[in-house]
A and B are shown apart, each in its own frame.
Chain A
C-alpha cells in the first residue's frame, strides 16, 4: 500500500472575486522511501495540494473534496485535532524561506525542542538534547552552542538545515519540502538537496519536493508530477520527464532550467505569458493561451490525463497527437526555438496554427491578471 495516496483532490476557495479553483482534481501516490517531485509555476496548485495534506488549507471558505489516504487513514475526514497529531509527527514540512519560517524571538534549539515536546512526552532537557542531536545530524557544527542561538544569527543555509532538523526531529514518515532551496545560494542549494537525499536514506522517509525548478528534482526525485492551473498535466518517472517529456508545458519548464554547461549570460527561455486566473480558467486545455502549438479544437476540448502508448506510467494531458509531440520535442532538443519547431511542424501539416490567437494568448488582459493576483492573495491567506 502506498504511504500517501491522493485521489481526485479538489481545493476551491470562495473569495469575493469568485471561486478560486486552486487544486482541481489531482491524484498521485507516494510510496515509502520514495521521492516525488511536484513541479509548476506559482499558482499551479502545487503548494496548496501538499498543504492540504497537512490540513493547513482548512478554512471556512475552503471547499475540499476527494481523498487523502495516509497510511490508510483518510486525512480529509480526520478531525482538526487528529490531523494536528499527524502534523509534525508522521508528516513534516519545510518551507521556502527559512528565515521567515523560523520564529525570530525563540532560540533555534527551543523551536526544535518544541516540535519534539508537542508529540513526545519528554522532559525539556531531553527535548533539548534531541534538538542538539538533530542539529548535529543536519551538519551544523558545534550544535550545542548553536542551539542556543537565534535564527538571525544563522546563515541562510544553516537556517534551512535547522528547519530540516526540526522537521525530522520526530522521525516522520513523510516529509513535504516546499521550495526548500529557492531562497538559497546556488552552492548552498546543492548541499541542502544532498542533505535531504542523505537523510531520506537514513530515515527511510518518503519525500515530496515542491518546486518551480525542474533542476531541483533532477537528481533526487523518483517520480515527477508537473502541475498547471490546479491540475497535473504530466506525470512520469524523473528519467522520462527529462528525456521523453510529452507536454509542451514541461518542455517550457525544461528549457528554463539553468544549466552548468551553458554560459551564464545566455538568456533562459521562459514560458511566454502568465499563468491563467484560477477563477476564470480558459476553456478547453487550460494551457492553450500560452501553448505555441495550439489548435483551434484545443480551446473547446478538455484533455484527459492519459497514459502514453509507450509507457503506462507516463501520464500526459495534451490534445496534440502523440507523434507530433515527439517530433516537436525532437526539434526542441535539437536546439530549435519553439517558433522554428512550430514552423517545421506546420510544414508537416500537423499543426494548424492561428498565429493571432497564439500571440494574443500570451498576453492575458489586465483584468484577468488582476483577478489572478487577487485570487492568489486570497488563497495564500487561507492557506497560511
Chain B
C-alpha cells in the first residue's frame, strides 16, 4: 500500500531522515514512535507531500508519488494542533475537501451528516470551530480528514495535550473508527502505551533508518 524507500531529508546540513524505509499494508494501522526531533513529523509531511525529500521514493498502491503535489496524493493528515479553518463552521470544515472537488450540496450534506454521526458530534454541525472543546476539535479534525476518503491517513500526535480521561476515550473511539472503516493509518506518537493500544504494529523511527 504505502512504501517509502531510502528517504533522505537534510535541513541545513543536519540529516533528519537517513535512508528511511517503511512499508504499511492495506488496512493496517501502524504506530510510529521515537523521541522528539527524531523526524516523525518530517516523515509525515514528506509522505503527505508538504515537504520535498532530497532523495528516495514514495510509492502508494505501487504508483510513485514522490514528486506529486500534496493536493493530488489523496493522503489525509490530522495535525497535532488540528488546524481547523477558523473562518468555516464545523460542517464547512468537514465538507472542505468535497467543496474543492465540486461535489453537489445535497451529497455534501449527506456525507457530512454520516461522518458527524460516526464521530458522535451530529449536534455540532453548525458550531463555530473556536467554540469547540479540545476533544470535539480533535474529532472534527479526524472527521474532516476521513470525509476526503484518503488512501492513507496520517495522524501526527493526534491525542497529545488532552487530559487522561479524554485521551483514553478518544483513543478507544479512534481505534474503533479506523478499524470500522478499514483505513490504512500511520499514527505518530511518543506515547508507547498509546501506540500499543491502537496499532497492529509499533515501529521506532530510529530502527527504520540505515546509518
Say whether A and B bind each other: no
